[in-house]
Structure 1
């Protein structure tokens, strides 16, 4: 089972810090490349730039909760939610077969 996790591309878990402006404030966010890639995919599907998508998400959380705690963690969890809706991994690897990817319903 660990091969599924250990053999992932190293680039995916290397982190990168990106600077952006949200609500007129400059900030930086450090995430692993796999999360940046997923956020770019989400933004693209929403026909937005990544900066515009992150600004909109931040504003919506601010409107809903009154404040935004740990935006980087919110982004990671958003990516997990998005991926869980797009792709599900079938647990065939428990029987020694290669895992299959199928669309989640």
Structure 2
């Protein structure tokens, strides 16, 4: 299955693009680096996993992507609370990261069975 056709990959890639744009002017380079790295990790690990041959390898990379969703969600909560992002935008992206995580869970279950 081509990873580019997966809705979970498309949505996670779009979220990463939006985050990169939002933090382009952020002067807190440590925070900017951390949040953008966790965001880009999600679609990257989906892509890498789906290109692997074995089911166990696919599941492992998808699990890493799911973990990156939790990492990103934590950073979005912090960004909203400290004023790096408007609260409404942070909440929208937190919701999106939860949806992506659920989608990854379903994909993991499908591949595992």
TM-score (norm 1): 0.29
* Larger RCO (CA under 8 A, 6+ residues apart): 2
Q: Give the structure with the higher percent helix.
A: 2
TM-score (norm 2): 0.28
